[in-house]
A and B are shown apart, each in its own frame.
Chain A
């Protein structure tokens, strides 16, 4: 996650204004997963990425796109609605926002136990509360995929 202090003033204000939407999450879940070398990991991002040919995200999109674990990073594109973040890094190397290749490498090296069959992307420029329904649906899908821990990569 980017530090607020590193953002321009207007963007810091923009992020802080979203706090108003975020009341009511008082619980802070704490789960102790298996040792990392036995953890099965999935990536869930809000970067608005998907495979070429998948439906692009539209304004206010609350659904997700499925990214199968064997997707090549080069088959990914981005249709995030916000233009207020860098695209050039992702154009150059998708792993800078969606580190699927790196995660697969860590699994091969035995640093993590396994990589999930499916990863998921939301498009983050949406009222956060409106993502709740699909996020809950996703939690069950991740359980069905025997995922122990999720790597969240916000943009």
Chain B
């Protein structure tokens, strides 16, 4: 509120969902209409509380959103484990894309397996092939965005529609990719490359996860 907007609507929804509930057009329309109705206020400033909460997800108790079990051979290299995990999720990601008619994966223009290999290589020797002339940190960011979107979208296709917390907990606690991101975070923290320093600050691992794993 420090920038003094003339009209504002407070909502109780989680950060990232200002209109409350995905795939609930009526709910979203109610929030949107309430916000737009503030334009009719005769005087201001107006700061209104939206009275409706998002319905609680019915799978809060389910800790794991993973549709696939990742049996790991003891002699597997980290690269092989990551690639096998990505491949195992492909049918679930296909299902997600089919159901939604779209996917957010594609910022890096790499296939998920190619993105996994690029990440694995970076963890090994801190090199990555630049995408569109971007610097190291920006390139790594796009690769990571694609991988995380791929995993999150695949997990959401699981029967029972896991909620946001379940998907996040699964990714960061139970997947090789989540572990690779945490290893990447440590590399970025220790790096003298300013673009990797920027990446680790807010763009790699959610603060809540860092506090949990600290």
Of the four ranges (under 10, 10 to 19, 20 to 34, 35 or more), the interface on chain B belongs to: 35 or more
Could you mark each residue 5-23 of chain B with 1 if its beta carbon is under 8 Å from any beta carbon of chain A, else 0? 1101111111111111111
For chain A, residues 98 to 136, give those with C-beta under 8 angstroms from any C-beta of chain B: 99, 101-103, 105-106, 111-112, 125, 128
Pick the residue among A41, A91, A154 that contacts B18 (CB under 8 A): A154
Q: Which residues of B contact A (CB under 8 A)?
A: 2-6, 8-23, 25, 28-29, 32-33, 35-37, 39-40, 42-45, 100-102, 104, 106-107, 134, 137-138, 141-142, 145, 148-149, 152-153, 156, 163-164, 167-168, 195, 198-199, 202-208, 211
Pick the residue among A95, A125, A151 that contacts B25 (CB under 8 A): A95
Chain A contacts for B19, CB-based, 8 A: 95-97, 99, 102, 153
Of the four ranges (under 10, 10 to 19, 20 to 34, 35 or more), the interface on chain A belongs to: 35 or more
Chain A contacts for B156, CB-based, 8 A: 88, 91-92
Chain A contacts for B8, CB-based, 8 A: 1
B10 adjacent to A102 (CB under 8 Å): no
Nearest-neighbour CB distance to chain B for A31, whole angstroms, equals 7
Given contacts A25-B2, A36-B39, A106-B32, contact A89 B16 (CB under 8 A): yes
Q: Which residues of A contact B (CB under 8 A)?
A: 1-3, 6-8, 10-11, 14, 18-19, 22, 25-33, 35-36, 39, 41, 52, 56, 58-60, 74-75, 77-79, 81-93, 95-97, 99, 101-103, 105-106, 111-112, 125, 128, 149, 151-155
